[in-house]
Amino acid sequence: MIGLLRNNIGAWRNRFVNDASFRHLVRASFFSLVIRVAGLGTGFLVTVITSRYYGADALGIVSICIAILSFASVIGKLGMDVALMRYIAELFTKKNFAAIKHVYLKSFRFIVPVCIVITGILYFFSPVIAGSFFHKPHLSELLKVNSLFVLPLVILLVNSESIRGLHRIRAYTFLQTSAVSIIATILLIISLAFYTDKFVPVSVQFISITIASVISVILFFKLSEWTKHGRDAVIDSRKLIRTSSPMFITTIMQLVMTWGGTLIMAAYYPESEVGVYNAIVRISTFTNISILAINSIASPRIASAFASGQTGEMKKLTMEATQLIFISSIVVFLPLFFFPHFVLSIFGKDFTGNEFSLELLLAGQLFVSFSGLASQVLNMADREKNLRNNAVIAAVFNITACYLLIPHYGITGDWDGGVEPALYLQREKEIRFFYFLYAR
């Protein structure tokens, strides 16, 4: 086996030297990975500071608020973020900045009103959500404040995907993975000298989201040469909605599988338990760092290749990306899986004792990483409806399992309810992915 691995490394080294496309993918992925590591590192630091100096309750409060904001932002985006990335990537290849400006403005005609309505609903129903659903009426006023940050978060997420469509991968990666956590780390460290209230960390998150949102607007306007071009109506509203609708449903279903467990746990357990759960989730995401980094490079190129009818180029890109993801995921997975007690002890004594839960989730995340860019290829190549259908089935399975298991088994029940649907979704994506690439 060692000999086989040595041969593969040698083959990859030769390809890096001789294949310009592969070399660009590796280099761009490396820089994206560095930025993502910085984002995950600062996010990890925020979690450690919050849990150690403000308590597991404070981390639980942050988790509840971010979970609500995540659901609200997905509805507010309407799937426009991924659709914009796809169309902007196609238009950028043609250097049609006027059309980019038009489709960007058209998407916000739908996004802004929807976000305002969502904010109003969350604001006025905060007492009901806090008291009747979470059984934590003392969070009512905080949830009202939380609702005001739906639009800033949506603007940040939409702009980051739009920047990815412009092939500005470093700027996209910074906004998507690092901006909020870096700002939050700085503000939290400063706050330690003055405040120890458990609501400080969530307030820092709100401020960080707002600042990152403003930065995203400035970057997109600059990179898209906003003031130099007019508007060219190449893509109409009907086409934009037709593309974004399946992506919207898929994203909601994936979000349900990501955050549904957090919300159900918050309804049955105190904030401290929710905080422990969130910390373990954050640790497990380290396994996916390579797939996220490589995806940020590959997706716009896959969209451009599909628009140009270059199926061979799509196959090449996906196979190269899958190989890189495979080896890098193993490197991250092994130390986390074999030393879970040490990793959890970093957060404090309240977090140890959940080693089995961490190992189970890491195993599921590793399986997802091995599958490569199946969902990204389907989304970029007019197969978003197939992905949507799989995501709906998996999400229904996930929520049902979490609802039945969490009240009785707590965190372990959440993993059992979350990992199996994720494995199902990934297997179905792989089947459709390989059928699309090789059975045409």
**Tokens, residue 12:** 């990859």
pLDDT of 332 over the 60 cut: yes
Distance CA 66, CA 187 (A): 17
- Distant-in-sequence, close-in-space partners of 168: CB < 8 Å, separation ≥ 6: 219, 223
Q: Give the least confident one: 69-83, 176-190, 396-410.
A: 396-410
pLDDT of 83 over the 90 cut: no
Q: Give the least confident one: 28-32, 124-128, 242-246.
A: 28-32
pLDDT of 206 over the 90 cut: yes
Max avg pLDDT among 32-36, 144-148, 162-166: 144-148
Distance CA 119, CA 144 (A): 9
Q: At what angle do helices 289-307 and 311-338 cross, to 10 degrees?
A: 170
- Give me the mean pLDDT over the 59-72 stretch: 86
> What DSSP line would sit under 54-121, residue for residue?
I-HHHHHHHHHHHHHHHHHHHHHHTTHHHHHHHHHHHHHHTT-HHHHHHHHHHHHHHHHHHHHHHHHH
Max avg pLDDT among 191-195, 227-231, 255-259: 191-195
pLDDT of 435 over the 70 cut: no
Residue with tokens 């909605």: 241
**Is the separation of the CB atoms in 58 and 137 below 8 Å?**
no
CA quadruple 26, 27, 33, 38: dihedral, nearest 10: 160
How much of the chain exceeds pLDDT 70, in percent? 71
Average pLDDT of every residue of the chain: 76
**Is the separation of the CB atoms in 271 and 133 below 8 Å?**
no
pLDDT confidence band for 322 (50 / 70 / 90): confident
Distance CA 165, CA 160 (A): 9
- Put simply, whether the predicted model's pTM sits higher than 0.85 gets the answer no
What separation, in Å, do the N-terminal and C-terminal C-alpha atoms of the chain show?
34
- Predicted confidence at residue 134, as pLDDT, reads 79
**Tokens, residue 130:** 């806090």
- Predicted confidence at residue 2, as pLDDT, reads 47
**Tokens, residue 396:** 């229904």
Q: What distance lies between CA 369 and its chain's CA centroid?
A: 14
**Is the separation of the CB atoms in 305 and 298 below 8 Å?**
no
CA quadruple 207, 212, 213, 217: dihedral, nearest 10: 150
- Predicted confidence at residue 412, as pLDDT, reads 57
pLDDT of 160 over the 70 cut: yes
Distance CA 41, CA 46 (A): 9
Distance CA 314, CA 306 (A): 7
- Give me the mean pLDDT over the 68-95 stretch: 85
Q: Which phi and psi angles does 225 have, rounded to 5°?
A: 55, 50
- Give me the mean pLDDT over the 146-154 stretch: 94
Of 434 and 199, the structure prediction assigns the larger pLDDT to 199
> What DSSP line would sit under 312-356, residue for residue?
HHHHHHHHHHHHHHHHHHHHHHHHHHH-HHHHHHTT-TTTTT-HH
pLDDT of 430 over the 50 cut: no
How much of the chain exceeds pLDDT 90, in percent? 14
CA angle 208, 214, 217 (to 5 degrees): 140
- Give the tens place of pLDDT for each residue, 339-366: 888 888 877 676 777 777 778 778 777 7
pLDDT confidence band for 218 (50 / 70 / 90): very high
Q: Give the least confident one: 69-78, 200-209, 234-243, 252-261.
A: 252-261
- Predicted confidence at residue 433, as pLDDT, reads 42
pLDDT of 50 over the 80 cut: yes
